[in-house]
Structures are given as C-alpha cells and as structure tokens.
Chain A
C-alpha cells in the first residue's frame, strides 16, 4: 500500500485550494441556480469534461429537493456516489500472459518513464520483461529507455535512430517469443493525435503485433498527463479510433493537477484507468483505485 496514500498526500497539497472551490459551493444556503452553477464550475476546475460535468450536475439536481441545504454532507456524498457509480460499470483493467503492452500518447506525457516503472512493476511480480525501443524519432529516446532497462534490470531491443519503428517491433517480438518473455513493452514516439500520417504508423505497428504474436494478450495503453485539460478527450478518442485503447495510464499526479478528465473517459467511453504515476522514481506507480481517486477530487 502506501502509494495511493502518496497520491492522497500529493493531492492534499492542493486540497486546500480545491476544497476552497467546493467550500464556496457548499456555503451557498439555497440550492438553486447559483448553487448548481458553482458546483459545475468546481467540477470543471478538476479538468472534468464540461459536458460530463453538466450531466453530473443535472442528475444531481433531479435527485435533490429544491430548498435549503440542511445536510451539506448529504449533497456531497450524493455527488461522490453519483460519480463513482457512473464510473464503476467499467471493468477494472486485467491482463493475461504472455502480455504485449504498446504505450502511445502525445509528446511529453511520460511514456518512456512509465515504461521504466512498469518494467520494474512486472519484474517484481516475478515476470520476465523485454522492452522495445520503437521511438526511433525523438533524439536520444532509445538512450533514455536503455537507462530505464538498466535500472529495472530487463532486456531491451533497439535499432538505430531513424529506423522503421515497425521493424523494431518485429525484432522485439522474435526475441520475446524466442526467450519466452512474459511481458513485452513497446515504447512509441510521442505524436499529436491530429497528425494522420503518424497515426497510420501506429496502426502499422499494431498490425505487426497482431500478425506476429497472435498468442499474446495485446493491450494498448494511452498515457495521459494529469496536467492536461479538455484536450485529453480528443486524444483518447483519436488514438482509440486508430488502434483501439484498452486502458489509460495517468501520469504526473504528484503535481497540483487532478486529472478529473478521466471520469468521463471511464463513464462515457468505457476506457478504464489501469495505472497512475506519481513521481520520477522507478516504483512511483500503482494500479488505479476509483474510490480513492474520486474521494481525492473533493
């Protein structure tokens, strides 16, 4: 345990400020337009999708009886449980072995760092891990991944800079099957989801895995930076359309951002959050816990 409490702690740093926003909402005596407007604003402050926040508030409005708030905790709890129940219909992320994880996402969200942490995570569970340096675009990306491979003490397959990423994937699969590796994690170059040609490249890499390694449980994780705002929805939507997303890894939750946008992704798009990252150290990662996450939003 401990790590989610680390998240709790990191979220607590901003808790005062956020609670401020919510405290203001709950200091309003009458439940009326002003109350619901402020509540909507407070939810959006956590970077929750605007339309989703509107739905949440509308649903809550239907449940509450107009008038003065006698028991503010009641309203707060109703809001929390509404959010939790909206998000809990999606099954938690689970996987089988052999496992292939392909990490995708826009530039700078923390894909490579997350891979280092995940390598360590699976290694600690007694699994053998191989990393695949398929980010052949960014300067020194494979050096960075190699450093993580050393830290986690796992194997890495890489080519030279500028090589065809699909070719690296192909080689990594050959190596992983030959060595009977439990987990193969593929690092891909960060790409903005609006760049059609780069999304095509991802599709190709994904096809290589499907074709060359049909026995593996192939999951595609999108890495989302908790600091991101409303654009996160567009990122998930576009990557999902291109290759099908199986789970989210939410990074940089140790800052002051809350990553509220994942709520609508779970509830509306049905994409579960698999892991959360909370720092730069190799064991700063843990499985996502919905109740605690929602709890920490307030």
Chain B
C-alpha cells in the first residue's frame, strides 16, 4: 500500500496547482479536495456516512477562506480538516466518574476479542496506583478460562478478583458490590463477556447487570482496527446501555484508527483512554489531536515533536541554525545528529511515529526493522577520520579513504556512500535556508 499521507498531499497539491494566483479557495477546488479527503478518511476506516457528513461540514468552513501566506493551500486544507477532526473527537478527558456513594462501579462491555479483560486489569492497576482500592469482578461465564485469565491479570496487578464460577452474571455482579461494601473496596470493575451487539439475549444480560448494580461508568471497549461496522456496534451498545465512554484498544498497531471517529460521532460519548500494549501499565489518556493526525495518515508527529523537545536543547537548535546559515555543516555535526536521534529513542522509534511508516511507505523498511548497526558503522567511519577530515571532507582522497576503511572496519564504498549522503544533506540545508523548500507541517 502506498503511503497514504504523501498520497493525500500529492493529490491535494495537484488539485491546488492552479490556485496560486487567486486569493481564496474556490468551490470546485474544494469539491475536488474534499473527494480526496473523503477517500483518505475511508482508508482510515472512518464510517462512510460519518465521513460524508464530516466532509460536508469541512467544505463549508474551507469555502471562501483566504489563503494564508504562511501555508500552502494543501497545508491549509489539511489544517482545517485536522482541526475539525480534533474538535469532533473532543478534549483530553481521561477522568473516570466517581460515585458520591462508594463503591464506584465500572462496567466493561464490548465485542469478543476487543480486549476487555486485559483492559480491566490495566484500569485496576491505574486506579490502584492513584490510591484507590479496586476490586475486579469476573462476569464472563461463557468463554472458556476467561475467569482464570482475569485471575492471572488480577494477580499481576495486585488486585483482588471476585468470582463465583459460572453462575448467573447478574447475581455475581450484585454480590460483588456487596462484597466491596463489606470489605472497603472503593471501585468495582466488572469484566463482562464479549458479545455481539445483535445478540438479544446477551445484550439483555448486560441491561440486567446494569439495572442491578447501577454502574457509574459503562465503558465500551473498541478495537482500534475495527472497520465500517464500528458504528453499528457503538450505536447498539449505546442505545441499549447508555454507555458513559469508550476505550480504544490495540493502538500500538499500524491501524489509522478511524473507527474512533465513527464511535464518537454516533454516541457522542468521550473516548477516555487508549490502550497500547499487553503490559498492564500500557494505558494512556486519549489525545484527540494526535488521533486526528493519525487518521489523516500524518503519524504521531506530536509525540515526535515532544520527544525531540526532550532530547534536543535550545542550544543544539541554535547551533544547527547557525551552521545552516553559514553553510558550515560538517561531518562532526552529522555525528552529533546521530546522538540526538539516539536520545529520541533510536531510529526505529522515530520511524514508528512518522506518517504512514507503519503501513510501509518504504516497502523494504518497516518499523522495527531498520538496521541500527548501520548507523554504528557510519559513526565508526567518522570516528576514524582526523579532525581536519571531518571538517573538510573534500580533502578525502583514495589513500585517506583506504586508511579510514581499515580503521573503521568498513569499505571505501561505504565511505563514498556516507559522503554522498552528507552532500545531499548539505544541499537540502541550502534549499531550506533559501526557502525553496519548506519543512512539511512546520
């Protein structure tokens, strides 16, 4: 699959090629651009009706907008779309409701395999860490060994698990709340069996549990890889149970996760957490802005920027800027850049956050598969140079290269490759300085 993001940018660029002379976005251009946006949303698994609705809203906003000087029309449209997506998905809201009369009851629900049991464990640990005393309740009496799974998860989190085997889930839930009151648990997390939203009997069971224990929170667990069907699932669960929020699971994959937009659109309920791994600590608040960019295939640029801010000091940036201005970027600076990358978590980490990388923009380079040892080799080459050579690589003749190759355990060919890359970097910097090219989305 092609890189969806560059695909979208390219297509939008094409739509806007004629725009440069006029000052505003015209109706036809917007229409064409919106078709591309719609397809991008569909490719991200946003439900068709939700996508159409969204595109109509955005068209109205975009129409007649003055073209900003600082942004290209493509960037501008993407900005409008991304802002609008962010707004639609709500604000960062990971606070769990607390009952005025303890215990607070949290009921988990969702389809089979959405990740309820693992999530119950994560929530339990999260609550325990914030000073609560949670109780896990095993109400999945159907799936073989589901109770055992919750017990194991509970012991990993250090949280007690209440179970009565495969008795009636409604009475298990009721008894669990009683147990919680008696033994001073302030939060009860009820893990229910996965079920199809169209399974009337099992949906009734959830309604019965809910009316028996009156949960403070009813959280719908949604697999972030869900496709068009997410609307049917969310709509039915919400209609039958009046959910209070959603949790998005398995976000550590390469899915664009458009399902969360569908879910939010049909339920109007907040997405409270995103769950990103199998370790019990892997629970994060839901960040709408990052999700918007992910849906548009723009990767987790925010996380990347945050990491960069952590790893790179202002001084580093000033230094780099100065070098760019003076066009005095040397191989020593090249070396220090590798260190910055390392501080940001290594190339593989960065790759994972870059737009479209998960879907395999570079067919042969997948996240997690970049050979970091290649970087080590490059570093070895530079370390084997004299200071003079690092500052002025143009003096490198064949005999110098031979010496460096044997010193670093590499080949002359590899050294030539490095020099070529270095030249390209320098050229790029010149272009950036002269404003011929812009950084994307900066």
Contact residues of A with B, CB < 8 Å? Answer: 13-14, 17, 21, 37, 41, 44-47, 50-51, 106-110, 137-141, 143-144, 146-148, 161, 192-197, 225-234, 237-238, 252, 254-258, 261, 280
Which listed residue (B152, B198, B227, B254) contacts A194, Cβ 8 A? B254
A44 touches B228 (CB 8 A): yes
Instruction: Indicate whether A108 sits within 8 Å of B153 (C-beta atoms), given known contacts A46-B228, A194-B367, A256-B197.
Output: no
> Which residues of A are found within 8 Å of B245, using beta-carbon distances?
none
Residue of A nearest to B111 (CB): A227
Q: Can you report 23 residue pairs joining A to B where beta carbons are below 8 Å apart?
A: A17-B232, A44-B48, A46-B228, A106-B253, A107-B250, A108-B115, A140-B151, A143-B144, A144-B148, A148-B144, A195-B368, A225-B225, A227-B111, A227-B229, A229-B45, A229-B255, A229-B259, A230-B43, A230-B255, A232-B227, A255-B197, A255-B233, A280-B143
Distance of A192 Cα from B368 Cα, bound (Å): 12
Residues 116-157 of B contacting A (Cβ, < 8 Å): 117, 142-146, 148-153, 156
Distance of A195 Cα from B358 Cα, bound (Å): 11
Distance of A107 Cα from B45 Cα, bound (Å): 19
Which listed residue (A13, A192, A226) contacts B198, Cβ 8 A? A13
Instruction: Indicate whether A231 sits within 8 Å of B225 (C-beta atoms), given known contacts A50-B42, A255-B196.
Output: yes
B153 touches A228 (CB 8 A): no
B44 at the interface (CB under 8 A from A): yes
A147 touches B145 (CB 8 A): yes
B229 touches A192 (CB 8 A): no
Residues 201-228 of B contacting A (Cβ, < 8 Å): 223, 225-228
> Which residues of A are found within 8 Å of B252, using beta-carbon distances?
192, 194-195
Distance of A256 Cα from B43 Cα, bound (Å): 20
> Which residues of A are found within 8 Å of B228, using beta-carbon distances?
44-47, 229, 257
> Which residues of B are found within 8 Å of A225, using beta-carbon distances?
113, 223, 225
B165 to chain A, nearest CB (A): 14
> Which residues of A are found within 8 Å of B156, using beta-carbon distances?
139
Instruction: Indicate whether A231 sits within 8 Å of B255 (C-beta atoms), given known contacts A108-B114, A195-B368.
Output: yes
A280 touches B142 (CB 8 A): yes
Contact residues of B with A, CB < 8 Å? Answer: 1, 35, 39, 42-45, 48, 52, 111-115, 117, 142-146, 148-153, 156, 196-198, 223, 225-230, 232-233, 250, 252-256, 258-259, 278, 352, 358-360, 366-369
A229 touches B258 (CB 8 A): yes
Distance of A238 Cα from B255 Cα, bound (Å): 13
Distance of A47 Cα from B45 Cα, bound (Å): 8
Which listed residue (B143, B226, B254) contacts A144, Cβ 8 A? B143
Residue of A nearest to B224 (CB): A231
> Which residues of B are found within 8 Å of A138, using beta-carbon distances?
149, 278
Distance of A18 Cα from B406 Cα, bound (Å): 67
A107 touches B149 (CB 8 A): no
Distance of A21 Cα from B145 Cα, bound (Å): 41
B123 to chain A, nearest CB (A): 16
Distance of A107 Cα from B255 Cα, bound (Å): 13
Instruction: Indicate whether A256 sits within 8 Å of B229 (C-beta atoms), given known contacts A109-B113, A144-B149.
Output: yes
Which listed residue (A147, A228, A258) contacts B225, Cβ 8 A? A228
> Which residues of B are found within 8 Å of A44, using beta-carbon distances?
42, 48, 228
Distance of A192 Cα from B358 Cα, bound (Å): 12
Residue of B nearest to A228 (CB): B225
B107 to chain A, nearest CB (A): 19
Instruction: Indicate whether A108 sits within 8 Å of B223 (C-beta atoms), given known contacts A44-B228, A45-B48.
Output: yes
Residue of B nearest to A226 (CB): B229
> Which residues of A are found within 8 Å of B151, using beta-carbon distances?
139-140
B115 touches A257 (CB 8 A): no
Which listed residue (B196, B225, B368) contacts A254, Cβ 8 A? B196
The 3 closest A-B pairs by CB, nearest first: A229-B227, A108-B113, A147-B144
B113 touches A107 (CB 8 A): yes
Distance of A231 Cα from B358 Cα, bound (Å): 11
> Which residues of A are found within 8 Å of B142, using beta-carbon distances?
280
B112 touches A110 (CB 8 A): yes
> Which residues of A are found within 8 Å of B113, using beta-carbon distances?
107-110, 225, 252
Residue of B nearest to A161 (CB): B152
A231 touches B45 (CB 8 A): yes
> Which residues of A are found within 8 Å of B115, using beta-carbon distances?
107-108
